[in-house]
């Protein structure tokens, strides 16, 4: 049986009014789920495909990149977890996008789910006004949530285009 990328577990929805934290967390959860949904049902080979000649972007690369981003921003920078980086982050060579092998797809999708859950758990007890040092200046957890939403939104747009080029599916 051929492995295919799983669909997100359940519907993700958040409040439309009320305190800002549940709204920020709900929008971020929806963005996280959107990337998983765009990939759902595709084989490892499809996730690794580069169907748009003008870019090196692949769905697998986006999955790997967002796992790296989750770990860096929420687990390492905000929560201060002493864990290693993913995908040669220190080399600054875009390994997450450039080193693509279909044999890694199942593990990469699982790792994204693990990083999403671990990142969400790492900051659950922290106040939105918690600050980190970002290149010599302060940045709040509130702004990190906004940054994560922006990062997913940007890459989910890329993912939509790649998915449509692979099999014509839209609106995921």
Question: Domain containing 93 — which CATH number?
Answer: 1.20.120.450
Report the share of the chain in percent with pLDDT over 90: 85
* Residue 30 reports pLDDT greater than 80: yes
Does 89 fall in a domain?
Answer: yes
Does 100 fall in a domain?
Answer: yes
Does 156 fall in a domain?
Answer: yes
Averaged pLDDT for residues 128-155: 97
Predicted TM-score of the model (pTM) = 0.95
Mean pLDDT of the chain: 94
Q: Assign residue 110 a region (left: φ > 0; alpha: ψ between -120 and 50; beta: otherwise).
A: alpha
Does 21 fall in a domain?
Answer: no
* Residue 7 reports pLDDT greater than 80: yes
């Amino acid at each position: 049986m051929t492995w295919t990328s799983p669909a997100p577990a359940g519907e993700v929805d958040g409040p439309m009014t009320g305190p800002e934290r549940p709204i920020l967390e709900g929008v971020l959860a929806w963005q996280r789920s959107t990337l998983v949904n765009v990939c759902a049902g595709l084989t490892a080979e499809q996730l690794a495909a580069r169907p748009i000649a003008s870019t090196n972007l692949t769905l697998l690369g986006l999955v790997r990149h967002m796992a790296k981003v989750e770990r860096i921003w929420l687990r390492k920078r905000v929560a201060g977890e002493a864990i290693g980086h993913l995908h040669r982050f220190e080399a600054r060579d875009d390994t997450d996008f450039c080193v693509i092998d279909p044999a890694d797809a199942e593990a990469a999708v699982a790792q994204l789910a693990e990083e999403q859950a671990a990142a969400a758990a790492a900051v659950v007890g922290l106040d939105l006004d918690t600050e980190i040092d970002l290149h010599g200046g302060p940045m709040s957890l509130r702004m990190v949530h906004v940054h994560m939403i922006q990062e997913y939104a940007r890459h989910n747009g890329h993912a939509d285009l790649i998915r449509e080029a692979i099999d014509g599916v839209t609106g995921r």
